Amino acid sequence: MPNTPSSISPTPPADLTAGRQGGLIRHVLVCLDRSPLAEACLPQARSVVDAFEAKLTLLHVMASPEGDQPSMRPDALDWEITRRESERYRAKIQGELEEQGLSAQQITTEVTEGRPAERIVTVAREIGADLTVLGGHGEGGTSAWNLGSTVQQVLALVPGSILLVPSDPESLRNVPAKRVMVAVDGSLRTQSVLPDVARLARFIGAVVVLVHVVPEPTRTALLSDEEDLRLATALAARLEAKAEAYLAQLEQRFFAEAPGVQTLVLRQSDERRALLEAARRLEVDLLVLAAHGATCDAERPFGSVTAYAMSHGKLPLLVLQDLPASDRESSRQPANNGEAVHASRRAAFGARPMEGP
């Protein structure tokens, strides 16, 4: 989310959510794999479902073996046993949610078979999920990557918004969240998430932390002259003052009814790290970002700041999609083989897929 003098608009237009189809979350998809790590997503999802009075679909994918050789196909009896266990698991989770207050009409469950990432993306599209909830890791537990491979594939292709819940129990100390941080860069894209953040904060009684990062000038080969450095530092100071006024306006406009609001302007050279460090320092329970910022590449599902937070963050992350579905779908095609999925995953986290000959 780059910051430039023109990116800070003191008087934003009235319609900030047009690109997000009204900004409402009407249908939430939660992906479960019978692991405690995945079930940690449920309390987080409940906060959103209750705040927006949304429908909830619970999805469990029975992973099919890779390959088409007969030796790799599951035994019919084993497959039936697995299917019945999955059905019992689905019924158990649904029963627990109904005991907690959700109505049977509000919950839909589905058990399906196939490659997990492909099935999750397909179901999300079929039901028109506005929000897909994923655990950082599933049955395989943690790995060398901060995100499991299935999650990375889903993030590259799933439509709508994402709620990513990490596997670290310490990050789930407060559910519902008591402190919600949202980052804005002065663009309409980042502002478009504020109505949803305000509604969620009011419902769960959370304090909102509004954050803007002003880049701190850093001496380089191109910025080495003392006079140039002085001018760059003076510009950063002006942007800092403008940002403080900008956040105050957003506070008044969107969060007048919030339980509490804190505004924070940071001056650091690395915006991505600054946000995560501030969230940790302030003991934030939920970080909210727009999928893209002022500079938006529709070919990538997420901007660089959001992709960094997904890969390096250690707290629940709600990414609200700012692009209309038509724009996202026209810029990328569903993966139909392993290489396509791999290329899409690279694009999601900042690297473009390799072009064909």
The two tokens of residue 154 are 């889903």
Residue 19, pLDDT above cutoff 70 = no
Between 158 and 276, residue with greater pLDDT: 276
- Domains in the chain, ordered, with CATH? 5-348 (3.40.50.12370)
- Whole-prediction pTM value? 0.81
Residue 270, pLDDT above cutoff 50 = yes
pLDDT in tens, 37-63: 777 788 889 999 999 999 999 998 887
Distance CA 77, CA 85 (A): 12
For the chain, percent of residues with pLDDT exceeding 70: 76
Report pLDDT for 187: 93
pLDDT tier for residue 309 given thresholds of 50, 70 and 90: very high
Residue 138, pLDDT above cutoff 70 = no
Amino acid at 218: T
Distance CA 6, CA 87 (A): 54
Instruction: Please provide the average confidence, as pLDDT, over all residues in the chain.
Output: 80
Report pLDDT for 72: 53
The upper half-sphere exposure of residue 37, i.e. CA atoms within 13 Å in the direction of its Cβ, equals 17
Find out whether the peptide bond into 169 is cis, omega within 30 degrees of 0: no
- Region 285-289: what's the mean pLDDT? 96
Report pLDDT for 218: 87
Residue 311, pLDDT above cutoff 80 = yes
Sequence-distant (≥ 6) Cβ neighbours of residue 82 within 8 angstroms: 62, 74
Report pLDDT for 8: 46
Distance CA 269, CA 149 (A): 31
pLDDT in tens, 83-125: 788 788 888 888 888 888 888 889 998 888 888 899 999 999 9
- Region 219-230: what's the mean pLDDT? 89
